[in-house]
Chains A and B, each alone.
Chain A
Amino acid sequence: MVPFETFFTLVVGSLALNLLLAVAFIAAGSAFVRKVIVSRDEAARLREKAVREAKRMLEDAERTARSIREQALGDASLLASDAKRLCSEFDERMNTALDALVKEAKQSLVRSTGAFEETLGAVVKERAASWRSGIADLLHTVEKTVREDGEHFHEVIDAESRRYRESITRMLEESKSRAEAEVEAYKRDAKARIDEAAKATLQRVAVAVLGGAIDLKAHESLILHAIEDAKEAGMFATRDTQ
């Protein structure tokens, strides 16, 4: 048998243990409940905080952007005015430089023109002198050649004149002969034509006279005599006997 003290001790120990367990359980449960409640509040708080933070950040961003834009506009305005000023200055400087350049170019051109005129005059003078000399030489040569050729000119002219005279005389003689031949031919032809015309006229007259002179009896006699003549001429002979 278990001693009471032990039993008691065991019961009390068990009870105390159960109590401890119950307390621990309750403490844990309350801690859990509390934790849950705290977590819900914390979440709401955190969400509000986040919203606020976001709003603040957005406002900051807008403010910053506005500031940047205003700054940029200001900078741009400054840059534009600077550029305009620079352009104006550049134009002014360019005009000045161009005026100087043109002035210098004019002076240079004037100088060059004077030099060219001088050079051209010199060249022209030189060429003119050369041409004068060449022409003089040429004239001298021509004069010399003409003088030399002139000595043979009369001989050539005489020979050519003789040749032309002979040629013309020959042509005239040929033309005369040809003309005489043509005249003779024409005479013969005309005579032949006249003869032919006369014959034709006489023939027509003869035909008219004869045609009127032949009566039927004479016609018959002519035909019968012609048949006799045809026989005599062998017209009716057979081919073998001809």
Chain B
Amino acid sequence: MNEEPRTTSGFDVRTAEERDRVVNLLLMFARSGFRLGDPAFQRELLQMPDLLRALFTDALNISEGTGSGTGVAERCERFKKELSSMPMVRLEIAFEPDDELVGRIVAALRRSSGRHVVLDIAVIPSLIGGCRVSYEGRYKDFSVKNVVAEFFRNDAGPDAVGVRSALRNPLSS
């Protein structure tokens, strides 16, 4: 499955942080009685990035500055459940990625897994390069730090799964 799947609402979040913000916003929206004019909800909504805010309002079929639309509560609940059920991949990398790279990583993960995953990203500079991947209880270390450690552990060079290929292209190019 190389097609990138999407949510039924058409709304997409890429990272766990974005998902938590949207879920929090949905909870606030519910607490306000699904009134867009609620000051706390408006304040939170305005703090979201423009793209995310637009996606959010589109997904719920509501317009900013207006009252709640028909069936908003049901759509909110369905939306929240959908977000909560999205599988998560944790990625530990050595540097702070920009937004574009996050998009490319998420796209690669969704292609590889065939699922609409969200990315939980953590920056650990001591990894040097590469990454550590955790997904549904599985864990693999593809970091350069591990490559170096394996090299000195085995006295015979790196032989961990994927280590050669991890080092092959980027460092030789």
Q: Which residues of A contact B (CB under 8 A)?
A: 199, 202-203, 206-207, 210-211, 213-214, 216-233, 235-236, 239
Q: Which residue of A lies closest to B135 (CB)?
A: A235
Q: Is the CB of B149 within 8 A of A226?
A: no
As a 0/1 sequence over residues 144 to 173 of chain B, the CB contacts with chain A under 8 angstroms (1 = contact) are: 110011011000000001100111111101
User: A165 to chain B: closest CB distance in Å?
Assistant: 50
Q: Among B91, B112, B152, B171, point to the contact of A218 (Cβ < 8 A).
A: B171
Q: Is the CB of A224 within 8 A of B108?
A: yes
Cα(A225)–Cα(B143), bound, Å: 11
Query: Is B51 an interface residue when CB atoms closer than 8 A count as contact?
Result: no
Q: Is the CB of A211 within 8 A of B128?
A: yes
Q: Which residues of B contact A (CB under 8 A)?
A: 91, 93-95, 101, 104-105, 108-109, 112-115, 128-131, 133, 135-136, 138, 140, 142, 144-145, 148-149, 151-152, 161-162, 165-171, 173
Residues of chain A within 8 A (CB-CB) of B114 are 236
Of B115, B151, B170, chain A has the most CB atoms within 10 Å of the CB of B170
Q: Is the CB of B169 within 8 A of A221?
A: yes
Residues of chain A within 8 A (CB-CB) of B140 are 226, 229-230, 233, 235
Are A221 and B170 CB-contacts (below 8 A) given A229-B165, A235-B138? yes
Q: Is the CB of A223 within 8 A of B93?
A: yes
Q: Among B93, B113, B144, point to the contact of A231 (Cβ < 8 A).
A: B113
Are A226 and B130 CB-contacts (below 8 A) given A233-B161, A236-B112? yes
Are A222 and B148 CB-contacts (below 8 A) given A210-B128, A227-B105, A233-B140? no
Q: Which residue of A lies closest to B115 (CB)?
A: A236
Q: Is the CB of B148 within 8 A of A228?
A: no
What are some 20 contacts across the A-B interface (CB < 8 A)? A202-B152, A207-B144, A210-B129, A210-B144, A211-B94, A213-B171, A214-B94, A214-B128, A218-B129, A219-B170, A221-B170, A221-B173, A222-B170, A223-B105, A225-B166, A226-B133, A226-B140, A226-B142, A229-B165, A230-B112
Cα(A147)–Cα(B138), bound, Å: 91
Residues of chain B within 8 A (CB-CB) of A227 are 105, 108-109, 112, 131, 133
Residues of chain A within 8 A (CB-CB) of B138 are 235
Q: Which residue of A lies closest to B161 (CB)?
A: A233
Residues of chain B within 8 A (CB-CB) of A225 are 142, 162, 165-166, 168-170
User: B132 to chain A: closest CB distance in Å?
Assistant: 9
Q: Is the CB of B113 within 8 A of A222?
A: no
Q: Among B148, B151, B166, point to the contact of A226 (Cβ < 8 A).
A: B166
Q: Which residue of A lies closest to B117 (CB)?
A: A236
Cα(A218)–Cα(B104), bound, Å: 14
Cα(A214)–Cα(B131), bound, Å: 13
CB-based closest 10 A-B pairs: A229-B162, A226-B142, A236-B113, A221-B170, A218-B170, A231-B112, A199-B152, A214-B129, A222-B130, A230-B133
